[in-house]
Amino acid sequence: MHRPTDEPDARPPDPAQLDPAVLTALLARHGWRRRGAATGRYARWTPPGGSYGTTSLLVPCDRRFPDSTELLAEALAALDRSPAPSAREVLTGLAVPSDEVRWEREVPDGGSGAARWVAQEQLRGAARAMLIAGALGTYGRAGYYGARHKRRAEDFLDEVLVGPAAAGRRLTAFVPVRDGRAAVAGLQQALHAARDATDYQRATGGMEAFDAAVELGVCHELAQALIALVREAEGTRIAIEWSPAAGTPAGCPARPEPVEFSPGDLPALQRAAQRYVRAEPSLPVQVTGAVVRLRRERPDGRGTVRLRVLAGADVVRVRVALGEEDYRIAGHAHLAGLPIRVSGRLESRGGFRRITGGHDVTPVQVDEAERDRLLKLLQEKPGFFEEACGDALDEEQEKQD
**How many angstroms separate the CA atoms of 289 and 294, rounded?**
13
Mind listing the pLDDT tens digit for each residue in 37-77? 556 688 888 888 765 556 788 888 888 888 889 999 998 99
Mention every residue, 6+ apart, whose C-beta is less than 8 A from residue 301.
324
**How many angstroms separate the CA atoms of 193 and 257, rounded?**
12
Alpha helix segments (H runs only) across 280-367: 324-336
pLDDT value of position 394: 47
Residue 33 CA: distances (Å) to CA of 26, 43, 63, 335: 11, 10, 21, 69
Say if residues 327 and 296 touch (Cβ distance below 8 Å): yes
pTM: predicted TM-score of the whole model, two decimal places: 0.82
pLDDT value of position 175: 95
* CA-based R_g, the chain, Å: 26
Q: How would DSSP label each residue in 3-67?
A: EETTSTT-----GGG--HHHHHHHHHHTT-EEES-SSSSEEEEE-GGG-STT--EEEESSS-STT
Helices (H) and strands (E) in the chain, counts: 13, 14
pLDDT value of position 212: 96
Greater confidence (151 vs 1) lies with 151
Alpha helix segments (H runs only) across 109-176: 113-136, 150-156
Residue 228 CA: distances (Å) to CA of 95, 116, 155: 31, 16, 22
**How many angstroms separate the CA atoms of 373 and 384, rounded?**
16
In which band, very low, low, confident or very high, does the pLDDT at 370 lie, cut at 50, 70 and 90?
low
Exposure string for 124-144, b = 16+ CB within 10 A, e = fewer: bebbbbbbbbbbbbbeeebbb
Mind listing the pLDDT tens digit for each residue in 372-399? 666 665 555 444 333 333 444 344 444 4
Mind listing the pLDDT tens digit for each residue in 78-126? 888 888 888 888 888 888 889 999 999 998 776 667 777 888 899 999 9
Mind listing the pLDDT tens digit for each residue in 73-83? 998 998 888 88
Average pLDDT, the chain: 86
pLDDT value of position 54: 63
pLDDT value of position 400: 47
Mind listing the pLDDT tens digit for each residue in 201-256? 999 999 999 999 999 999 999 999 999 999 989 999 999 999 999 999 999 999 99
- One-letter amino acid identity for 300? D
Q: Is the pLDDT of residue 269 over 90?
A: yes
pLDDT value of position 4: 57
**How many angstroms separate the CA atoms of 328 and 333, rounded?**
9
